[in-house]
Amino acid sequence: MAAEQTTAVVLRTIEFSETSLIVTLLTRDFGQVAALAKGARRPKSSFEGSLDLLAVCRVVLIRKSSDALDLLTEAKLQRRFRGAEKSLERVYAGYYIAEMLRLLTDNHDPHPGLYDLTLETLGQVDGSGHPALAVLGFDTAALRLLGHAPATRGCVDCGRPIDNTPRIAFAPIAGGVVCHQCRSRQQSLLTIGRDSLEHLERLLAPHTRLPITVPATVYRELRGLINRYIQAILGSTPRMQPFLPARMEPVE
């Protein structure tokens, strides 16, 4: 099969043999890809330094038509993730992003907008941006781009407008806000302040770009709500989610 080129972010590497790696990539043109990098573990491999976690590379792939692994034949480093040089919070933020991309995307299902969002977020996380806000902005934008945005205006159960109350019921499993009449039918409920809900709507809007800004009190409420919502979508808790800051501290 012919070789194809694209740009990619390294999401995970697994030792395959004494000399090779299985690499999970988020590519701009082909979506998530699992590929075999032969000889990548050799001391003087041509892949040296380019397959570190969250590295951005220009890659050459020989794609397989079956369920077999694609073959990674070349990877030229474009940018290395340097969050570890600044703070542990930035490292955790990067690891979380890599995990979420693996869990929320499917093999060979391209989302160029999500790929571009990932590069923007990594630039915030290992640059001078606020890592907690960058991750919150990534989560909300990724949910929208992947078709998982929660309902924020009409009741997700009956469709009626939400009452103008200070706090609104939110059902993670149902997929958004619920009215007073439908609350009793939900398996689990949170409540969200109206100000926080308005900020959530803004973050979910297609025109919103990083960096984002929200008040510290809104961040705390939205971070807890998005965590629960993602758990409901995945059916489990992402391993790195507990390492995200519950409060928004000053940026280092």
**What are the pLDDT digits (tens) for 100-130?**
999 999 999 999 999 999 999 999 999 999 9
| 72 and 126 co-located in one domain | no
Tell me the CATH number at 58.
2.40.50.140
| 34 and 90 co-located in one domain | no
| Amino acid letter, residue 178 | V
Tell me the CATH number at 201.
1.20.1440.120
| 200 and 212 co-located in one domain | yes
- Of 244, 251, 246, 233, residue with least CA distance to 104: 233
The domain boundary, picked from 16, 47, 80, lies at 80
pTM: 0.95
Owning domain of residue 90: 83-252
| 76 and 188 co-located in one domain | no
**What are the pLDDT digits (tens) for 36-45?**
999 999 888 8
- Of 13, 17, 6, residue with least CA distance to 42: 17
Helix (H) or strand (E) holding 216: helix 216-234
Two tokens, residue 222: 């939205």
**What are the pLDDT digits (tens) for 126-161?**
999 999 999 999 999 999 999 999 999 999 999 999
- Angle of helix 216-234 relative to helix 88-104, nearest 10 degrees? 40
